[in-house]
Structure 1
Amino acid sequence: MEGMISFGNKRSYEEFRKQIPTQVLPLFDSIREFCFGLGENVVEDVRMHRVVFCKSMTFRWFTDIEPQKEGVIIKIQKNRKEPVGIIQINKDQQISEFGDLIKEAYEQIH
């Protein structure tokens, strides 16, 4: 699968999906698809409680998404000199409401 890199015994996204609350899953999946759609150099790093999206193998992360009971917490990093932005998204919101912030972070991270 494109964008997947394995470092040893890392969890797959399919394994991670099992811990996401059912009502939040459509939002989480749409954020994931949006991130992959930003470019061919997007790398997904599935961690214990969240999924981090990086730009290429330099692992400059631009988006960190963590499922919650009623939504998703998104951390956005545009560069290492600015503080990380944190957005709490409700399960009923759409990617179109915050996609520009993720895209801008992807374009600006080095």
Structure 2
Amino acid sequence: MDLISAGHNRSYEDFKKQISPSVKPVFDTLREYCLSLMEPQHDSILIKIKSDRKEPQKDIVIKPSQNLDEIKNLLLDAYNAIH
């Protein structure tokens, strides 16, 4: 499971070359929204997760050396909770 990459070790620029012009605006809007859920900090990244409007937002601080598997699972759980 790789929720963060554009897929198969492609750069975003490579991905944009392969996406159809009609889909690109939708993709860019979703990409912008996903990036808005993250805030760079001095030595970390803050990710905001809210899987239900009745639950409080979870703020997760990610350090450069941290394993991302747990974060990916939290994002997947939040995604599944709203769908």
| Greater relative contact order (Cα < 8 A, sep 6+) | 1
Q: What do the CA deviations read for 1:61-109 (whole angstroms, capped 9, x no partner)?
A: xxx1111121100110101111001111111113213211011111112
1:51 to 25, 28, 35: 35
TM-score where L is the length of structure 1:
0.46
SS at 2:32's partner residue?
strand
Residue correspondences, number: 59
Q: What do the CA deviations read for 1:2-40 (whole angstroms, capped 9, x no partner)?
A: 5213xxxxxxxxxxxxxxxxxxxxxxxxxxxxxxxxxxx
Q: 1:69 corresponds to which residue? A: 42
Q: 2:59 corresponds to which residue? A: 86
Q: What do the CA deviations read for 1:35-65 (whole angstroms, capped 9, x no partner)?
A: xxxxxxxx1226xxx923xxxxxxxxxxx11
Percentage of identical aligned residues: 32
- Paired letter, 1:51: L
Mapped to 2, the partners of 1:101 and 1:80 lie a distance apart of 16
Mapped to 2, the partners of 1:109 and 1:51 lie a distance apart of 18
Structure number with bigger Rg = 2
1:100 aligns with 2:69: no
RMSD (Å), alpha carbons: 2.1
TM-score where L is the length of structure 2:
0.59
Q: 1:58 corresponds to which residue? A: none
SS at 1:87's partner residue?
strand
Segments ≥4 residues shifted beyond 6 Å: none
